[in-house]
Chains A and B, each alone.
Chain A
Amino acid sequence: MTIQQPKIDTSPKVSDEVRRTTCYMCACRCGINVHMKDGKVAYIEGNRDHPVNKGVLCAKGSAGIMQVNAPSRLRKPLRRVGPRGSGEFREIEWDEAISTAVGWLNELHETAPQKLAFFTGRDQSQSFTSFWAQNFGTPNYAAHGGFCSVNMAAGGIYTMGGAFWEFGQPDWEHTKLFMLFGVAEDHDSNPIKMGLGKIKARGARVIGVNPIRSGYNAVADDWVGITPGTDGLFILSLIHVLMKAGKIDLDYLSRYTNAPVLVNATEGPEKGLFLRDADGKPLVIDRVTGKPTAFDKPGVRPDLSATYEKDGVTHRPVFHLMAEKYLSDDHAPEAIAERCGIPASRIRAIATEIARVAFDEAIELDHEWTDFRGETHSKMIGRPVSFHAMRGISAHANGFQTCRALHVLQILLGTVEVPGGFRFKPPYPKPVEAHPSPHGDRRPGRPLEGPHLGFVRGPEDLLIDDCGTPQRIDKAFTWENPMSAHGLMHMVISNAAAGDPYKIDTLFMYMANMSWNSSMNTKGVMEMLTARNEDGKYTIPRIIYSDAYSSEMVAYADLVLPDTTYLERHDCISLLDRPICEADAAADAIRWPVVEPDRDVRGFQSVLIELANRMNLPGFTNEDGTPKWKDYADYIVNHERKPGIGPLAGFRGENGDKEGRGEVNPDQLNRYIENGGFYVAHIPEGADYYKPWNAAYQDWAVGMGIYDSPQPYLFQLYSEPMRKFQLAAEGHGDRQPPERLRQRIKDTMDPLPIWYETDQQGNEGFTVNALTQRPMAMYHSWGTQNAWLRQLHGRNPLYVPTKLMREHGLQDGDWAKVSSPHGEITVPVMEMAALNDNTVWTWNAIGKRKGAWALQEDAPEATKGFLLNHLIHELLPPKGDGQRWANSDPITGQAAWFDLKVKIEKADPPNDAESQPEFGPIKSPVGTGPKDLAWKVGK
């Protein structure tokens, strides 16, 4: 018989309209097509034209519809009525909210601007928020980089003018061997997945170095389940083997790095500093003339080997120092294998494979290019080995040096900015010299003299006053962490609570869940936020907080400024900030209100402008006293950082036909919207590799406004700024570190990458490494309020390796007490075999405080979910020297989350079968979400 099928409509109308904007479900910033039906968001997919995601979209991105409609959205400004932390608020009008904030802030601006600490979390408008803080005059501004990944960023900038993620990417099209270290599957999430897909499609090898074999490491062809915190040791051993075998790119090293630069080798105040000419240019020995010559002189052929004596002072090339250091048997695989938990044979095998691919499978592109010395090359040589790393290697107290070591490995192989290797994304490469140094002056009523954050060149750039007192509340850029390029957000609350180095009046935070998952020592932070002086007043007198959602932090604010969701706002992802560029293009993007808020909320940046206008902050006010901008959209279009350079690089000029530099175009936002919400300026062929030294790239970058003049530079295998701090610690120079830090600075700030064991004081008996990762489908706490995503990860077990499960008699679903020198938690466990034998881990930020995020109080996130944060303190255990040393990298201040060591014991299930510790519920200012959902906006 014939089969009669139902007739179905295979061509239904998909939507009334597609509005293209930029995702904000994480920091990846993909382009999205928002399909609208009846003026409502119906469906979200990736934008195929977008440079970041080229059409694909992750789970978070597709779940945006549940975020934009999340019941946890704040609805109106709130003024606290109950005690801090209770969640008791009254709703107020915006007029009252703004005038309250102005009332608090204006006085500080005019009298003591440093008493405002303004810190933003996962803020994507840092060039704007820092501009605001700069004009307010407070030195106390930073975003969340200090507890995220400053080691990676600063290690990269100091070494080669850029790091991974926003700074650069593997050459996915050409690479033949990809090695990734400690990537927690979040940052740059779609591009990495896309890149892995490309590599996998051609069957190239992926090596994953990570104690945990999940996510990207699960698809790696070879897994190196390294002992946490020993990545540097492993990398230096690879360097040892490769150098010893001569498998390094000498031509590259001599041309593009400071390997040939002459270093003073004689004891004294100059030891370890570069030999420079009168113009301050580092000198190399020219192999042609045999004479010391400026590194960038046309025609110079730098010698990697020759030494130079002058006035009885010996100068040796950097490469000599490297050979001395890295050829030592201390770095042999056999010497470090046990410590790293990797067999020596495996280390050698990996080194062999790296060498084979880099040198035997080198590729050549027929692109002619001219270098900064004027030499024209007919080809581009590619060494198709690429690397990527992230927080796994950086969130250790030895992370900065480890990140440097990885970059040095890349550079020795000649794989940076070459085909098949690692490629920078504009505005990078950008050497330290092209970055500002930090500014921390405080002058009532006047703006800061320059940007808050920057890159110190030596002790002279530290933000300390003559008695050594830190200028910043977070003690960034001090002897304790001289190169803290991103500030130390994780120290702000504890320092403010302790009044050390001084007391503040108002803590102003944006998108930073400090009373929960974004702090170490969560319980301690809650106590600090609610601590009172003897007079009964709060130690931190005022807290203003802005967030779109009812996060845990909301309950601790005195004044809450409700932000919009990402589909209801203007934003710009700017070349001045953290842009969305690709290796062969500069790109920036906007967000625009594809839907209007249905609540009484305002975009935070527009609120900042309103506050600035009410206070007549200098940079925001015309000479006639009128405000320059009425809201953020106005600022995005009309602000000029320098003449012709504004937040957005595309569609500039009267006709919208200029890119990079050009006059303000009042129609700019519309042009962006028409173009899909972004702008791409392609790097011409021939300018797209060897960027730091490629004259064509440098010229293009100047034209784009990325540099004011060409900025060719050498990769800094040897970091002279670090040596300057060491010299100070050795007693040279006017600015001297306090005695207690002298030895540590000498030991850690080696100008060549080293590995050192992190401070294990107090860790006796705590021998198991404990880590966290973010699930790919969630982004910190944001995922929990999302009805779709929370079904994927609604609770988090502690993953325990098979060996430890056996040792402790544990089975899936059992409970374990996990303790550290700082605290203990009792949590459910689950076995994982593909895990380093001595490491436990869990998903980060699944655990939630009862009453937050509009969840019901018995939600699994609040009953079973837990944070490892309770085990981590921002300070190390007391050493008996009267000091509490920071649990941070001594160079950058990066929070050393991953140095955590714990002890694990089988435990009885807690009485209420809830993970411990438990905290009382906070009253939800937005109630709880509806019971059931069946979301369909179309008919």
Chain B
Amino acid sequence: MHPAPSVIIFTTCSGLGFGLLFFLGLGQPAVTGFVAFVFYAIAYALAVGGLLASTFHLGHPERAWKAFSQWRSSWLSREGWCAVTALIVMGLYALGAVFMGSHWAVLGWVGALLSLATVFTTSMIYTQLKTVPRWNMNLTPAMFLSFSLAGGALLAGAEALAPWLLVLAGAVQLAYWAKGDGAFARSGTNLGTATGLGDRGAVRAFEPPHTGTNYLLREFVHVVGRKHAQKLRVISFGLAFVLPLLLILIPVSGVAIKHIFALLAVLSHLTGAVVSRWLFFAQAEHVVGLYYGKR
């Protein structure tokens, strides 16, 4: 799949933003006033910014509001609902925290749940696609959620939970890669089933239907070299999990240094997550590539 910057930014940032909102909703940290404002500003910047970025790949962003209509069947529509309600609920909760210094716990829990649900629905947009076997796995929502929680915990400064969540997310990430690499082959879809000619012999794509490119090739066919991908995985894993863990686990004295380390941990995690998400798209092979003899 084409690793479009808009969807990479969207999924990483909004995942992180909603992760932070999740923790804020649970009162973790139970901040108020200006500090709360900063936390919420960061959370909303990430969540809303991510959502806005996602509209950049739309042909008609001005019609985006229409996307709320199909929540019965469409995960994208459900994501829209979850995101908006999560943002509204958490917005009310934030008003309480910032301006009234109070934490309306039930509202916070609902908001936290909706935030997580948003991340889940986002992940389901990809998970539901049988056409992309690497996405069509339970590990996809697990990965999105664990990333969101780990990143959220880092941002929320949840010192106790963050290391565990990072370890969990790292493990899910490794499992996702391991299982994802064999997903296409396991799916049973190949050029033989795509053409129905498989029982006659070995099928090979000959002349393409057009000698230039087209939407399908631009959107669905992206080849990442194996070595290149391995390197990127190491980088991604190091930045998303190993380095942040080290940064938050290294005992340091002084609030300032601690905050700097925490900031570095967040930035490192974010960068690693972006690389991971790039790989998530770039390595995903859509079955339509089979018709072109490409993956």
Contact = CB atoms under 8 A, between A and B. Distances in A.
Query: Taking the complex as a whole, does A directly touch B, i.e. does some CB pair lie under 8 Å apart?
Result: yes
Contacts of A792: 209-211
A791 B211 CA distance: 6
Contacts of A832: 206
B196 interface: no
A833 B207 CA distance: 12
A795 B211 contact: yes
Contacts, number: 15
A459 B250 CA distance: 106
B221 to A, nearest CB: 15
B212 A791 contact: yes
Contact of A794 (B204, B206, B212): B212
A833 B204 CA distance: 10
A851 B95 CA distance: 66
B50 to A, nearest CB: 32
B201 to A, nearest CB: 10
A791 B209 CA distance: 9
A729 B38 CA distance: 106
Most buried by A among B210, B211, B212: B211
A645 to B, nearest CB: 47
Interface string B201-218: 000101001111000000
Contacts of B206: 832
Classify chain A's interface size: under 10
Nearest to A833: B204
A793 to B, nearest CB: 6
A860 interface: yes
A860 B211 contact: yes
Nearest to B209: A792
Most buried by B among A792, A795, A833, A860: A792
Interface in A306-356: none
Contacts of B211: 791-795, 860
Nearest to A775: B207
A492 B49 CA distance: 71
Interface string A780-818: 000000000001111100000000000000000000000
A791 B215 CA distance: 13
Interface in B208-249: 209-212
Contacts of B209: 792
Interface string A864-881: 000000000000000000
A348 B182 CA distance: 50
A793 B204 CA distance: 19
Interface in A836-869: 860
Nearest to B214: A791
A792 B204 CA distance: 19
A408 B211 CA distance: 42
A792 B211 CA distance: 6
A791 B212 CA distance: 6
Interface string A115-133: 0000000000000000000
B210 A791 contact: yes
Nearest to B213: A791
Contacts of A833: 204
A832 B207 CA distance: 9
A24 B36 CA distance: 75
B99 to A, nearest CB: 42
Contacts of B204: 833
Interface string B175-216: 000000000000000000000000000001010011110000
A794 B209 CA distance: 11
Most buried by A among B204, B206, B209, B210: B206
Contacts of A791: 210-212
Nearest to B72: A1
Contacts of A795: 211
B17 to A, nearest CB: 34
Nearest to A834: B206
A698 B147 CA distance: 88
Contacts of A860: 211-212
B295 to A, nearest CB: 15
A599 to B, nearest CB: 29
Interface string B99-133: 00000000000000000000000000000000000
Nearest to A792: B210
A355 B147 CA distance: 75
B124 to A, nearest CB: 22
Interface in A457-472: none
A860 B211 CA distance: 9
Contacts of A793: 211
A136 B51 CA distance: 77
Q: Which 8 A-B pairs have the closest CB atoms?
A: A794-B211, A791-B210, A795-B211, A794-B212, A792-B210, A791-B212, A793-B211, A860-B211
Interface of B: 204, 206, 209-212
Given A791-B210, A794-B211, A860-B211, 9 more contacts: A791-B211, A791-B212, A792-B209, A792-B210, A792-B211, A793-B211, A794-B212, A833-B204, A860-B212
15 contacts: A791-B210, A791-B211, A791-B212, A792-B209, A792-B210, A792-B211, A793-B211, A794-B210, A794-B211, A794-B212, A795-B211, A832-B206, A833-B204, A860-B211, A860-B212
